[in-house]
Amino acid sequence: MAKKKLLIVESPSKADTIKKYVGKDYKVMASVGHIIDLPKSHLGIDVDDDFKPKYITIRGKGELLSQLKREAKAADKVYLATDPDREGEAISWHLASALNIDINSDCRVTFNEITKNAVKAAIKEPRSIDMDLVNAQQARRILDRIVGYKISPILWEKVKKGLSAGRVQSVATRLICDREEEILNFVPREFHTVEVELKDNAGKRTFSAKYYGKDDKKEVELKDAKAAAEVVNAVKSAEFKVSSIRSGETSKNPPPPFTTSTLQQDAARKINFQTSKTMQIAQGLYEGVNIGGKYGTVGLITYMRTDSLRISVEAQQEAIEYIGQKYEKSYLKARQYKTKKGAQDAHEAIRPTHVSLTPDEVKEKLSNDQYKLYKLIWERFVASQMSAAIYANTNATIDANGHKFRATGSTLKFKGFMAVYTEGTDDAKQKDKALPKLGEGDILSLEKIEDIQHFTQPPARFSEASLVHELEENGIGRPSTYAPTISTIIARGYIARSKKQLVPTELGFVTTDIMKNHFKDIVDVEFTAAMEDKLDTVEEGGMEWVDVLRGFYPEFAQNLEKAQRDIEKIKIKDEESDIVCDKCGRKMVYKLSKFGKFLACPGYPECRNTMTIREGTGVQCPKCNGEILVKKSRKGKIYYACEHTPRCDFMSWYKPVGKCPVCGSLMIETKGRNSKITCSAPDCGHTEKKRDNKNEG
């Protein structure tokens, strides 16, 4: 009986997909991530013996490893097909060691997409394990372990148990704290604008123009009300005359296909996904979805951890054919995008594996979240191979008693790639409108003049999207680390979410101050970016991994000793609530766990009373007249339920806002970009404008 070949991947779902491609001669198994790693209970690195790591089998993985050993021994060939990145290469290296596979043999298989053709082609071209990739991962892992395991105990002792420091998480926390300090220290500066509403000489259309300056001088800033009043008084009785018209066209090119970072940013802006959710959904789309028909189970997108903008010739051709069938020839422009210097270019950009599988075609086979993310990826990729959008622009200069006003108009003349996709932004800027038809010398009638007071605004707090952008721009971490980094600093209580903003807590400020004063390199943006460059050099074979640690550790060890000696114990007082402990009468305080905030008695350990935080809506339950409360599901999703649950079974995913004035049923606020307030009774149909409500859902 012929022996089977063994193919080992990381995830069980990926294994299930690949089984259907490779046939009965292969047994496909999953390592379920790392099978060997540093121990959790202690440092696991001998800093005195050239940073030698002490790897162990991960607790709970012993039986799986024994099973893999048996299957490897019975197979005539073992292929290691873990993910195509540093982490995947390291997992394959550990597996090779555990299964007695020669790392120089053709045992390593990688594929950028999980499709039948890609998997079969990869198996035909196995390679040896890339030790430069392994060493880059090993250097990063050991460096992060040393920083975390050496600094965290100091924070536990001096500040609070359960805290942690990290090479990337501490810099991310610092960025958010520094931004908050900028906001707190910001001194607003007053300025004014003078805007006029004018009507064209045909008397048909009005448009607005903004004060620019006097005569032919450069743009003038009106610093106070007095300066603005002088302009208003000078022009309110003047003749407004068009002195010049400039017309032209501008083009807007499509954005490139997604990288990990840009996918996280656009998913946050356009479909309101947190970075961790984006990566979780993308992982599922990559590993395989059963869509039936001729495709069966197939990976719908390429590998989702990439810095590259490169796309394969085959994928580009498929996009070109699709656009050619769907749109006129003028919409097509094949493009290749240049990956920025220093980016990891091992894989393609994130794209659909089959352009012919349109979002609408696979919608019924996907969850709502999978559909939203797949649609975003598919549209962005197709748009990247389309023509630029063309705008027709008009700029009018209007003279009033020697004072110049400017009016601008813009209309979309040719959609180009925007027929498929528009990029999300953090700033929701109002679109320009077209100006009426104007000619030089036209006399315009003044309908309205307004002096508007403004104040300069502080920088905005970081959102997840803007933090990811900042980390990438500064070369901190790698895109694959952004989601876990943000999750960690929130779980530790350093940062809190306020709607879409990331806000530092007192704990975040305290730990950041300690890091700045005692471990300044760890939270220094330039130092962290330089360390990333060194790790990249290791990956490229230009530097030994131990040299990275030899250069880092001596000064770090000195800082540890000094910090242990110099940092005084800091007591962070828990925030007090108005709720009285029903067991001992003390006022309860707010505490933080991995499940979020809760109330605890400050008399611990004598009194161990805890309570969940009640968040009311002020709206009566339509079934029993109790109050409807804001609740969170196990997965963190907000819903609304009666305070008398489980006795009353009222529950809603939509935010309740009161009684319907028409029929008395519950009014709810629908979700999404075009949300509205509507009656929950299907036969009523009453709707209202959105109203302000403190209990944001």
Read off the CATH number of the domain in which 203 is found: 2.70.20.10
Catalytic one among 21, 295, 303, 640? 303
Write down the pLDDT at residue 697: 31
Which of 1-5, 288-292, 298-302 holds the top average pLDDT? Answer: 298-302
If we measure between CA atoms, which residue out of 256, 194, 180, 250 comes closest to residue 222?
194
Mean pLDDT of 557-565: 95
Domain presence at residue 672: yes
pLDDT reading at 250 higher than 60: yes
pLDDT at position 267: 95
Helices (H), 450-544: 464-473, 479-491, 506-518, 525-539
- How confident is the model at residue 676, as a pLDDT? 82
Please indicate, yes or no, whether residues 68 and 93 belong to a single structural domain of this protein: yes
- Tell whether 353 and 327 lie within a shared domain: yes
Neighbours of 184 (CB within 10 A): 8
- The verdict on residue 697 lying in a domain is no
> Is the pLDDT confidence value at 696 over 60?
no
- Check residue 500 and give its pLDDT: 87
* Mean pLDDT, all residues of the chain: 90
Q: What is the mean pLDDT of residues 619-635?
A: 85
* Residue 122 reports pLDDT greater than 70: yes
User: DSSP string of 268-321?
Assistant: HHHS---HHHHHHHHHHHHH-EE--TTT-EE--B--S--------HHHHHHHHH
What is the percent of the chain with per-residue pLDDT over 70, rounded to a whole number? 95
Instruction: Tell me which of 407, 426, 455 is where a domain ends.
Output: 455
Rounded to whole angstroms, how far apart are CA atoms 88 and 31?
Answer: 11
Please check whether residues 70 and 160 belong to one and the same domain. no
Q: Are residues 332 and 418 in the same domain?
A: no
Predicted confidence at residue 432, as pLDDT, reads 56
519 Cβ contact partners less than 8 Å away, ≥ 6 residues apart: 151, 165, 170, 556, 559, 563
Which of 455, 474, 505 is the last residue before a domain boundary?
455
Q: 683: pLDDT confidence band, cut at 50, 70 and 90?
A: confident
Q: How far is Cα 588 from Cα 603, in angstroms, rounded to an integer?
A: 9
pLDDT surpasses 70 at 524: yes
Q: Give the mean model confidence (pLDDT) for residues 532-560.
A: 94
With a cut of 60, say whether residue 365 has pLDDT above it. Answer: yes
Domain around 168 = 138-185+460-566
Whether residue 639 is predicted with pLDDT greater than 70 in this model: the reply is yes
The CATH number of the domain holding residue 52 is 3.40.50.140
Q: What is the CA radius of gyration of the chain?
A: 30
At residue 36, does pLDDT exceed 90? yes
Please give the pLDDT value at position 256: 96
Instruction: Give the pair of three-digit tokens for residue 156.
Output: 């536990």
* CA dihedral of residues 97, 100, 106, 111 (deg, nearest 10): -50
Q: Are residues 49 and 122 in the same domain?
A: yes
Is pLDDT above 60 for 427? no
Do 112 and 159 fall into the same domain?
Answer: no
Q: Which of 383, 414, 447 lies at the terminal end of a domain, its last residue? A: 383
Model pLDDT for residues 182-223, shown as the tens digit of each residue: 999 999 999 999 999 999 888 789 999 999 998 777 889 999
In a domain, 233, yes or no: yes
Go through the chain and tell me how many residues it has: 697
Given a cut of 70, whether residue 415 has pLDDT beyond it is yes
The most confident of 259-268, 331-340, 612-621, by mean pLDDT? 259-268
Cα-based distances in Å from 498 to 306, 410, 487, 672, 697: 30, 36, 14, 18, 12
- Residue ranges in 540-607 assigned as alpha helix (H): 545-566
Q: Determine what percent of the chain is predicted with pLDDT higher than 90.
A: 73
User: pLDDT for 150-185, tens place per residue?
Assistant: 999 999 999 988 888 999 999 999 999 999 999 999
pLDDT confidence tier of residue 429, bands split at 50, 70 and 90: very low
> Could you tell me if 399 and 468 lie in one domain?
no
Grade residue 694 by pLDDT with cuts at 50, 70 and 90. very low
User: Same domain, yes or no, for 200 and 181?
Assistant: no
Instruction: Work out the pLDDT band at 594, boundaries 50, 70, 90.
Output: low
Is residue 178 in a domain? Answer: yes
Asked if the structure places residue 571 within a domain, the reply is no
How would you write 147-169 as a 3-class SS string? HHHHHHHHHHHHCCCCCCCCCCH
Residue 288 maps to a domain? yes
Same domain, 11 and 117: yes
CA proximity to 472, closest of 614, 303, 344: 344
The pLDDT confidence band at residue 681, using thresholds 50, 70 and 90, is: confident
Give the mean pLDDT of 554-573.
91
Look at residue 345 and tell me whether its pLDDT is greater than 60.
no
Q: Mean pLDDT throughout 530-541?
A: 92
Hey, what amino acid is at 462? Answer: F
338-357 average pLDDT score: 81
The verdict on residue 694 lying in a domain is: no
Taking the CB of residue 397, how many other CB atoms lie within 10 A of it?
Answer: 17
**Cα separation, 641 vs 393, whole angstroms:** 52
Q: Is residue 324 domain-shared with residue 397, that is, in the same domain?
A: no
CATH number at residue 549: 1.10.460.10
Q: What are phi and psi of 266, to 5 degrees?
A: -70, -35
Query: Does one domain contain both 53 and 121?
Result: yes
What separation, in Å, do the N-terminal and C-terminal C-alpha atoms of the chain show?
62
Mean pLDDT on 129-144: 95
Q: Where are the alpha helices (DSSP H) in 288-431?
A: 313-326, 359-362, 368-383
Q: Give yes or no: 303 in active site.
A: yes
Q: 482: pLDDT confidence band, cut at 50, 70 and 90?
A: very high
Confidence class for position 103, pLDDT limits 50, 70, 90: very high
Q: What is residue 471's predicted lDDT score, i.e. its pLDDT?
A: 94
CATH number, position 349: 1.10.290.10
- DSSP letter at 338 equals P
Of 130-144, 374-388, 619-633, 681-695, the least confident: 681-695
- Split into its structural domains, the chain has a count of 6
3-state helix, strand, coil in the chain (%, to 5): 35, 25, 40
Residues 349 and 321 in one domain: yes
- Neighbouring CB atoms inside 10 A of 371's CB total 18
Tally of CB atoms within 10 A around 150:
20
CA dist., res. 598 & res. 452, Å (int): 46
Tokens, residue 655? 């935010």
Cis peptide before 605 (omega within 30 of 0): yes
- Domain contains 580: yes
